[in-house]
Homo-oligomer: A and B are copies of this chain.
Amino acid sequence: MENRCENCIIRQFNSLRALNKDELKKVSDSKISKKIKKGEPLFIEGQKLDGVFCVRDGVSKLSKLSSNGKEQIVKLTNRGEIMGQRSVIAEDFTNLSATAINDMEVCFIPKEVISNTLNTNPNFSLEVLRHLAHDLKEADDVIVNMSQKTVRQRLAEAFIYLKKNYGEDENGFLSLTLSRDDYANIVGAATESLIRMISDFKKKGYIKTEGKKIGVLEEDTLQELADGF
């Protein structure tokens, strides 16, 4: 038997919770479940999306290519998030690429269902508005961090963020394992510079590493660092 949205807890975390039974049924009937393997794209910058993705499991990075050819990660998605809303609402090409960071399970919901519901259920519109508003606020914060903080500060912040949002395993390593390259693309730095900083943080005892895995040892120190001592 297929998974039904009606029974899916995930929807409590996103704007779909504003749907009534009927609407939910329509979404459920038209949705397509997909599994995306680590490293595979969900969609690519410049593509026209004909629906949104509801993240059941796994993490993805939303990124954008700069004119210099470097990738910048703008956001990491959380479980329960809806991706591609902006593009569907604006009837516009995606401005971002989405790539799975670990194996993902997502549901694709065709845009017709979304826009119909937007037109008929004001509560749903409001929920979507709130989510966009939230994303916009977060984007503002990122802008300020990117322009006013040093790479070192942003890296410290990234570790704290990853710990807070994705937690750590039984050995104290961050649950979300990113490549050094991804870290560089999050904080907006050259990979070599970033690797050097990780080495330095490790030498100073703020973090520990084991292969790609990184564990936060001194969260308070990192926080101070992020705030500029």
Q: Which residues in A have some Cβ–Cβ distance to B below 8 Å? A: 64, 66-68, 70, 72, 74, 85-87, 89-90, 92, 95-96, 118-120, 122, 125-126, 128-130, 132-137, 139-149, 187-188, 227-228
Residue numbers in B under 8 Å from A118 (CB-CB): 122, 125-126, 129
Given contacts A125-B122, A125-B125, A140-B96, contact A70 B132 (CB under 8 A): no
Contact B122 A90 (CB under 8 A): no
Given contacts A129-B125, A129-B128, contact A137 B67 (CB under 8 A): no
Residue numbers in B under 8 Å from A125 (CB-CB): 118, 122, 125-126, 129
Please tell me how many copies of the chain the complex holds. 2
Residue numbers in B under 8 Å from A147 (CB-CB): 66, 72, 146, 187-188
Residue numbers in B under 8 Å from A67 (CB-CB): 148-149, 227-228
Contact B146 A146 (CB under 8 A): yes
Given contacts A70-B148, A146-B188, contact A137 B89 (CB under 8 A): no
Q: A66-B147, A122-B125, A147-B187 are in contact. List 12 more A-B contacts (CB 8 A).
A: A67-B228, A68-B228, A72-B147, A74-B140, A85-B133, A86-B133, A95-B137, A95-B141, A118-B125, A119-B122, A132-B133, A139-B139
Contact A137 B188 (CB under 8 A): no
Distance of A75 from chain B, by nearest CB (Å):
8
Residue numbers in B under 8 Å from A149 (CB-CB): 66-68
| Cα of A134 to Cα of B68 in the assembled complex, Å | 24
Instruction: Find the B residue at minimum CB distance from A65.
Output: B144
Q: Which of A74, A85, A140 is the most central at the interface, judged by chain B CB atoms within 10 Å of its CB?
A: A140
Contact A86 B137 (CB under 8 A): yes
| Cα of A122 to Cα of B142 in the assembled complex, Å | 31
